Each structure stands twice: as C-alpha cells, then as structure tokens.
Amino acid sequence: MTIPTLNLNDGNQIPQLGYGVFKVPPADTERAVSEAFEVGYRHIDTAAIYGNEEGVGAAIAASGLARGDLFVTTKLWNDRHHDEEPRAAIRESLDKLGLDSVDLYLVHWPTPAKDDYVHAWEKMVELREAGLTRSIGVSNHLVPHLERIVAATGVVPAVNQIELHPAYQQREITEWAASNDVKIESWGPLGQGKYDLFGAEPVAAAAEAHGKTPAQAVLRWHLQKGFIVFPKSVRRERLEENLDVFDFELTSDEIAAIDAMDPGDGSGRVSAHPDEVN
C-alpha cells in the first residue's frame, strides 16, 4: 500500500495521511509510534506541548527506517514566539526527537492577544533558511492572521493545520488556502468523539455503501477533499483500520451529503477558538 503524497508550495512533498500523537501519553508514545511504523505510517505529527517528542524520537531510532522515508512534524508553542526563542525551541525539539531537522515546523497557535505571531513567522523563515526544518507552516491561523504574516514577510505557509471535520469545515480558511496554494491539515478529523458523527445519516450511508466503517468513510472524505489527515489511536487494530482507506472512493453525491453536515454557523466547533488561545 502506498500512501499518496501532496506537493507543497515550497517544492517539498508530504504524505497525505499520517499518525498524530496528540494526547498520546508520553509513556505510551514509543510503543504507539513503533506500531504505526510497523503498520505502514511514515508521517508523524507531534508538538512540543504534547510532551511526547522523546517517545517519537525513540521510536524513530528503533525503527531502522531511513530518515528520508519519514516525514516528521512538530510545533512551536505559544510562549516561545518572542526574541530568539523559536530557534531555541526547535533545537530543544530536535534534541528530543534525535533529528538534525524536521520536515515541517508549525506555529501552533497565533496567540493574537500577545500580537507576536508576525515575529514568530519571521523567525520560522530563518529556521527554514538555516536548515533546521524543510518546510514551515502554521496551525489554527484564521484568514486575518494568514494575510498579515504573508503581507509582512512575503512567505506563504506550506500548510495550515486546523480543526476540521464534517460538522465544522472552516470554509473561509479552506477557500483562502486553495487560492494561495496552502495545504490544509485536518486535526480532530473525526470530531474527537464529541458528537455523534458516526451515527449521522450521510456518514452511515456512505460507510454501508462501501463496506467500510463510519470512521473510514469520514477519513476518505478528508482525503478526497484534498486535506492532509492524521487520526490518532493507540490501538493497533484502529491504526490499521485508519490506514485502510485507499481501496474505495466516495461518490460525488456522498461527498456532497457529508459537506452538507456543517450548519455553517460555527456551532460545530468542538475545541478552542484561535482568538481565545493565548
């Protein structure tokens, strides 16, 4: 099985499906990531604030996989945007991961109340130029944040990682991204279990039509929308299930039915609003 790759706006490529370790306990991370590698994942998404970069690094070291076969993302936390902290922060992350560079480094949140995300983005550009990361991007950035950092630097993020699932599709951001060649990464792609996504008629019907689980139908929806997705699980059978989404395609009608699940008023959000995380 080959996981498709997408072309980023900086000339690099990214696997479209990966393994996210948000809320994977540090003590479980090495085992979980090692199992993900065994199953076939090659794209790992972590963050400094997750507290499990060392576990990811241990799994990488034990895997025997070539560095060029892996895609590793980590993120700059909110209290490291100022002065030269971004450089110190990525070096700390690299030490924990046991790597010379990551494939993608993200500004985790814009923290607009502190008004330092433009400075953070300027420093991200320097980190890329220094070879500490191959690509740079952002997470949880709204259109005004995106427009401001691009205006300030002339550098467009390679990706924007945002909360995105059928009840909350963030169309303003995805449309801006499409018109500016920014790839969208979906976090919480299954709604974090905070609403009855799998019982929703469009999802259940699509799953039944293709002999797949509701989770597989939703992951397939993300992939066909062109989003990068990394579902999280610590169970091997679920790791395998989440990867088994490349042997079927949803019809245009099935896609449209799932598209219609977003009420359009923002009420489907299950996590924090980016303007409120500082």
Active-site residues, by number, are 50
Q: 274 — phi, psi (to 5°)?
A: -60, -30
* Residue 217 in tokens: 């139908």
Contacts of 278 (CB under 8 A, 6+ apart): 78, 109, 111, 112, 113, 114
The answer to whether 177 touches 2, Cβ cutoff 8 Å, is no
**What number of other Cβ atoms are within 10 A of residue 25's Cβ?**
13
Contacts of 84 (CB under 8 A, 6+ apart): 123
Q: Is the dihedral of CA 195, 137, 34, 57 positive or negative?
A: negative
The answer to whether 189 touches 205, Cβ cutoff 8 Å, is no
Task: Tell me the CA distances in angstroms from 143 to 32, 78, 123, 188, 263, one per residue in order.
Answer: 35, 19, 20, 20, 20
The answer to whether 241 touches 17, Cβ cutoff 8 Å, is no
Q: Which residues pair with 92 in a beta bridge?
A: none
The answer to whether 33 touches 55, Cβ cutoff 8 Å, is yes
**Rg of the Cα trace of the chain?**
18
Helices (H), 180-251: 201-210, 214-224, 236-243
